[in-house]
Amino acid sequence: MAKEGADMTEETEYMIGKNVGKETENVESSCDAKEMRAVVLAGFGGLNKLRVTKKAMPEPQDGEVKIRVKACGLNFLDLMVRQGTLDNPPKPPLVPGFECSGIVESVGENTTGFEIGDRVMAFVNYNAWAEVVCTPVDFVYKMPEEMTFAEAAAFSLNFVAAYMMLFEVANLREGMSVLVHSAGGGVGQAVAQLCSTVPNVTVFGVASCFKHAAIRDSVTHLFDRNVDYIQEVKKISPEGVDIVLDCLCGENTAKGLTLLRPLGTYILYGASNMVTGETKSFFSFAKSWWQVEKVNPIKLYEENKVIAGFSLLNLLFKHGKCSLVKSVMDKLLCLYDQKKIKPVVDSLWALEEVKEAMQRIHDRGNIGKLILDVEKSPTPLMASDSTETSEAGEEEEEPEGDNDSKERMPFIH
């Protein structure tokens, strides 16, 4: 999409506390800037593959909108992109990120419906983690007036995915029951809120213990990730549940199917168990893939069960379902206006803090959504860590868990 200089990407990592502030100033002072800051993934692997660099300013093509980005959403999918486990990723170096919010800076030819200055949220097929992005008009939606940019960046993927799974794939209705893994995550919280818009829906949530206090009110029953949730659910609802939403894959698939009531729907919408802490990610992934229990259709027939897969990214960027997504977004914005739903933001991070943000989502430390706030300055490194800077970036085999030495305090929303 970039008009020029795409290959001129400067690999200058913006060092924390050095020239970041100045650069931000420069970019913001001029819309005619030829460059912008972006998070770049240099190759598939660990956190050390990420850095903030200058890239050529993109310009909108036919049917595209150019957006001055204010906030970007960070998803578990981005970890899969980084490790190279997502299906058919583009070749690195690449700018990750699938969603953002911001202000329309210009529009390409044959682009109607948006004007310069419009506050928008958008899906982007990569490239969202930057100061400026261009994306086809079909993936851009106007923000409600009272919505903040952080909320908007937390809204699109999570709520659209949750809505489509509950109402397009599974047909949630009054009196049904739903089990959601990662109940504290962005999708989990969106699922809980959307379930509360239907009368008498029981939500069973699974989440790490330390999140329970924060999210207890959002679900009907909450279980610790480390207990046998199958048994716990069956104690409360012996006949099982109507909908299982699983973003983990692996052995949870078979468990999830066991829990389904007749005519129930199991939906796999992620495979976060395939993201490991090791850099030998491809092999871990391949191993996990083959370990996933395959399903015999005749068993589904005998048990009257439904199994579905749901990938919003593929739906948008491969399967051409943007008009369906648009209609879903319209319904969601109605619910937002009626104050029935509201995105939960976990924390805001500067672009330069993307590694720490990724570590937090990897460790499942978040409650709600992690946001990259493009205008935010990085929190200064803590004193004890100031001697270490970016050298870890040169290590080829940096395990995820070894990154603590550079940890900053996130801005908890």
CB of residue 228 to a second copy, shortest distance in Å: 21
- Give the residue with the Cβ less far from a second copy, 38 or 160: 160
Among 79, 307, 341, 354, binds a second copy (CB under 8 A): 307
Establish if 101 lies at the interface with a second copy (CB under 8 A).
no
Among 13, 59, 118, 168, binds a second copy (CB under 8 A): 168
| Region of 95-103, 318-326, 354-362, 396-404 interacting with a second copy (CB under 8 A) | 318-326
Establish if 85 lies at the interface with a second copy (CB under 8 A).
no
Report the half-sphere exposure of 23 (CA within 13 A, side-chain side): 25
Q: Where are the alpha helices (DSSP H) in 164-250?
A: 186-195, 212-215, 229-236
Give the three-class secondary structure for 131: coil
- Give Cβ neighbours of residue 147 (< 8 Å, ≥ 6 apart): 119, 155, 336
- Output the six-digit token pair for 319: 């399967």
| Region of 115-123, 149-157, 305-313, 368-376 interacting with a second copy (CB under 8 A) | 305-313
Closest CA to 151 of 215, 101, 218: 101
CB burial of residue 22 (10 Å; 0-12, 13-18, 19+): exposed
| Region of 51-59, 150-158, 298-306, 359-367 interacting with a second copy (CB under 8 A) | 298-306
| Region of 23-31, 222-230, 320-328, 346-354 interacting with a second copy (CB under 8 A) | 320-328
Among 30, 200, 226, 296, binds a second copy (CB under 8 A): 296
Among 249, 259, 332, 371, binds a second copy (CB under 8 A): 249
Give the count of residues interacting with a second copy (CB under 8 A): 41
Distance linking the first and last C-alpha atoms of the chain: 33
| Whether the Cβ atoms of residue 209 and residue 229 lie closer than 8 Å to each other | no
Q: How far apart are CA 310 and CA 321, in angstroms?
A: 13
Give the three-class secondary structure for 40: strand
- Output the six-digit token pair for 29: 């002072």
Among 31, 236, 263, 382, binds a second copy (CB under 8 A): 263
- Give the residue with the Cβ less far from a second copy, 311 or 347: 311
Establish if 383 lies at the interface with a second copy (CB under 8 A).
no
Closest CA to 97 of 56, 60, 54, 50: 50
Establish if 163 lies at the interface with a second copy (CB under 8 A).
no
Which residue ranges make up the site for a second copy (CB under 8 A)?
A: 87, 168-169, 171, 249, 253, 261-263, 265, 268-271, 289, 292, 294-311, 314-315, 318-321, 324
